[in-house]
Structure 1
């Protein structure tokens, strides 16, 4: 082997080491580019076409968006999302914070209790929806059991009530997600400087003032993360609604995700379904992009 070949060998090995991660990741990057961002772009394009049961390429401009906001079912879906999203985020954050504060007291069997709270998050929303559908069904669930105990006047038929059905979605979603929010807040609580809290206690601060003035303000990053995650999950809620109520009674629990599926695949209005999907994407982006921008700015500072 020549001297020049011997010198070039380490350089070749170095280039291979540098290229190996790119070679390994390139199939994943290509798949994500095609099947995620490619289909997002295709959906945006379909929202400007006259697509019905199958995609077409006849552009109609903003007609699908104009028709979308004239459909009463879309107004109902957006209203339901606002009710569900606000209650879901507020209750999850409040309950998660309360549970985190209780666990932060170094109670006995903390690990076991934390696991119980987190367990629902390991279930899919389909499983959660079916389980709560059985539990809330007046014929076989909570109402039937309590009446079987002798309380015949007990009524809990929210799942069959058009005015109350949306709140059953909130109950099931909060049950599944509050433990995850608790874990986020608990991590934030464990990161607070204990010396600062001890100094405040020495100065005579009450427990309420301690949490209001010191603890909760320092949980801002956890609150922001929880808000982004919960808002994203609320906007794209589909499987939980379908499994629990199927969007009913009537359209009482219709949300944008079920509206999009219905108009795209059962009503053969693919253009309008694509327009609703783009609106959902823009809403999620309006929440996530400012959050990511603020996080990157803080890291740079």
Structure 2
């Protein structure tokens, strides 16, 4: 009785070739992503200023961080921004998806129009909305030149309202993307379920409230995770739109981290703020990934 034949060189090469091709990119990802995440965590426990210093200071940087007024302002602002951004994006995206799901004429033209803002970078969006909301050259100036001299819209210059300008710009850019997620979910619902509910006498509002929206739970979860992640890393939109101002009234954790690390030369404090941002994203992502893996198991 002979043993099983050994694979020849060509077969072994075909087995190993995908691994060899992926190995360099895998190694680069491990080093430049997870390696630098570990490096940032280590820096947050050191007394680093302009350059890294390996003097261990424990939780001192975190204590300094929470004692800073700018950081507390950034935390309040991210709560306002993320709460409004996620809620409004989901609401607008769901309404647009339901509207397009009615098989309206011109749907093929409207979908790209709603999705187009997502093709722009946040820098472009921030710059465009900065011009549009500027009282000197934007909406206020145009309407006043048309005769509405009593119209005033100075939110971008007002510290109490500037954060809402960022919300408006972010919602404009992302709601079309959320719409596409909900629209895909709506198109995946079995029509037989909806027809059976209609036969039982369910009205259209009841149909959506009791059947359609509960079946969109995976789309809601995916949209929430993506929007929460975008709200935490919204550095470029803030810098382009308000620059963190007026004053520091639109400071967010991302802008705070950059400012303290590269402008004020407080690398340890900046690293600690980055670690807190990482933990926030992880608190959102890990339960979502766990639920997805548990559902597939």
- Structure 1 residue 215 corresponds to structure 2 residue 209: no
Alignment of 1:287-298 (within 5 A): 287-298=284-295
Alignment of 1:105-120 (within 5 A): 105-120=102-117
Q: For 1:8 and 1:228, how far apart are their aligned partners in 2?
A: 50
Dislocated runs of 4+, deviation >4 Å = 7-10
Provide the residue aligned with 1:75 in structure 2.
Answer: 72
- Structure 1 residue 259 corresponds to structure 2 residue 256: yes
User: Which of these residues, 155, 158, 165, is aligned with residue 162 of structure 2?
Assistant: 165
Q: Which deviations, in whole Å up to 9, do the C-alpha atoms of 1:232-282 show, x marking residues without a partner? A: 000111000000000000111000000000000000100000000000000
Provide the residue aligned with 1:196 in structure 2.
Answer: 193
Match of 1:151, SS?
A: coil
Alpha-carbon offset, residue 10 of structure 1: 5.5
Alpha-carbon offset, residue 174 of structure 1: 0.1
Provide the residue aligned with 1:122 in structure 2.
Answer: 119
- Structure 1 residue 140 corresponds to structure 2 residue 137: yes
Unaligned runs of 5+ in 1: 1-6
Higher alpha-carbon deviation: 22-31 or 87-96: 22-31
Provide the residue aligned with 1:4 in structure 2.
Answer: none
Q: For 1:21 and 1:176, how far apart are their aligned partners in 2?
A: 38
Q: For 2:60 and 2:281, how far apart are their aligned partners in 1?
A: 23
Q: For 2:24 and 2:172, how far apart are their aligned partners in 1?
A: 38
Q: For 2:58 and 2:216, how far apart are their aligned partners in 1?
A: 45
Q: Report the TM-score, using the length of structure 2 for normalisation.
A: 0.98
Q: For 2:107 and 2:192, how far apart are their aligned partners in 1?
A: 23
Match of 2:90, SS?
A: helix
Provide the residue aligned with 2:89 in structure 1.
Answer: 92
Alpha-carbon offset, residue 202 of structure 1: 1.1
Number of residue-to-residue matches in the alignment: 294
CA RMSD after TM alignment: 1.1
Q: For 1:193 and 1:174, how far apart are their aligned partners in 2?
A: 30
- Structure 1 residue 13 corresponds to structure 2 residue 14: no
Alpha-carbon offset, residue 16 of structure 1: 0.4
Q: For 1:8 and 1:94, how far apart are their aligned partners in 2?
A: 62
Match of 2:245, SS?
A: coil
Unaligned runs of 5+ in 2: none
Provide the residue aligned with 2:27 in structure 1.
Answer: 30
Provide the residue aligned with 1:153 in structure 2.
Answer: 150
Alpha-carbon offset, residue 109 of structure 1: 1.3
Alpha-carbon offset, residue 125 of structure 1: 0.1
Provide the residue aligned with 2:55 in structure 1.
Answer: 58
Alpha-carbon offset, residue 203 of structure 1: 1.1
User: Which of these residues, 159, 183, 193, is aligned with residue 186 of structure 1?
Assistant: 183
User: Which of these residues, 203, 208, 215, is aligned with residue 206 of structure 1?
Assistant: 203
Provide the residue aligned with 2:173 in structure 1.
Answer: 176
Alpha-carbon offset, residue 12 of structure 1: 1.2
Q: Which deviations, in whole Å up to 9, do the C-alpha atoms of 1:182-231 show, x marking residues without a partner? A: 00000000010100101111111100000000000000000000000000
